[in-house]
Structure 1
Amino acid sequence: MTRKNALVVRGGWEGHQPVRATELFLPFLRANGYAVRIEESTEVYADADAMAGTDLVVQCVTMSQIGAEELAGLSAAVVAGTGFTGWHGGIADSFRAASDYLHLVGGQFATHPGKEPCERQGVQEDNYLPHTVNITELGRDHPVTAGVGDFELHTEQYWVLHDELIDVLATTTHPTRPWQPWHRPVTCPAVWTRQWGAGRVVVTTPGHSLDVLEHPAVRTIIERGMLWATRTASAS
Structure 2
Amino acid sequence: MSERKALVVRGGWEGHAPVEATELFLPFLRENGFEVRVEESPEVYADADALAATDLIVQSVTMSEISHDQLKGLRAAVAAGTGMAGWHGGIADSYRNSSDYLQLIGGQFATHPSKEPGACKGSQEDNYLPHTVELTDLGREHPITAGLADFELDTEQYWVLHDDLIDVLATTTHPVRPWHPWHRPITSPAVWTRQWGEGRIMVATPGHSVDILKDANVRTIIERGMLWATRTA
The TM-score, its normalising length taken from structure 2, stands at: 0.99
Q: Which residue number corresponds to residue 11 of structure 1?
A: 11
Q: Which residue number corresponds to residue 22 of structure 1?
A: 22
* Paired positions, count: 233
Q: Which residue number corresponds to residue 146 of structure 2?
A: 146
Q: Which residue number corresponds to residue 102 of structure 2?
A: 102
- 8 Å CA contact retained: 1:45, 1:71: yes
1-structure distance, mates of 2:81, 2:172:
29
1-structure distance, mates of 2:30, 2:198:
24
Q: Which residue number corresponds to residue 60 of structure 1?
A: 60
**Alignment-mate amino acid for residue 231 of structure 2:** R
Deviations 1:10-44 (A, max 9, x none): 00000000000000000000000000000000000
1-structure distance, mates of 2:114, 2:147:
31
2-structure distance, mates of 1:77, 1:148:
31
Q: Which residue number corresponds to residue 133 of structure 2?
A: 133
Is 1:167 the equivalent of 2:167?
yes
- 8 Å CA contact retained: 1:2, 1:33: no
1-structure distance, mates of 2:60, 2:222:
12
The TM-score, its normalising length taken from structure 1, stands at: 0.98
Deviations 1:91-111 (A, max 9, x none): 000001100000000000000
1-structure distance, mates of 2:31, 2:229:
17
Q: Which residue number corresponds to residue 85 of structure 2?
A: 85
Q: In angstroms, what is the RMSD of aligned CA positions?
A: 0.6
The alpha-carbon distance between structure 1 residues 142 and 2, as it changes in their structure 2 partners (threshold 3 A), is: farther
Deviations 1:128-147 (A, max 9, x none): 00000001000000010000
2-structure distance, mates of 1:205, 1:23:
18
Is 1:219 the equivalent of 2:222?
no
Q: Which residue number corresponds to residue 156 of structure 1?
A: 156
2-structure distance, mates of 1:140, 1:209:
26
- 8 Å CA contact retained: 1:85, 1:225: yes
Q: Which residue number corresponds to residue 193 of structure 1?
A: 193
**Alignment-mate amino acid for residue 229 of structure 2:** A
**Alignment-mate amino acid for residue 196 of structure 2:** W
By how many angstroms is 1:3 displaced? 1.6
- 8 Å CA contact retained: 1:81, 1:231: yes
Unaligned runs of 5+ in 1: none
2-structure distance, mates of 1:106, 1:203:
9
**Alignment-mate amino acid for residue 14 of structure 1:** E
2-structure distance, mates of 1:26, 1:151:
25
- Percentage of identical aligned residues: 75
2-structure distance, mates of 1:140, 1:160:
21
**Could you say what secondary structure the match of 1:74 adopts?**
helix
By how many angstroms is 1:2 displaced? 4.8
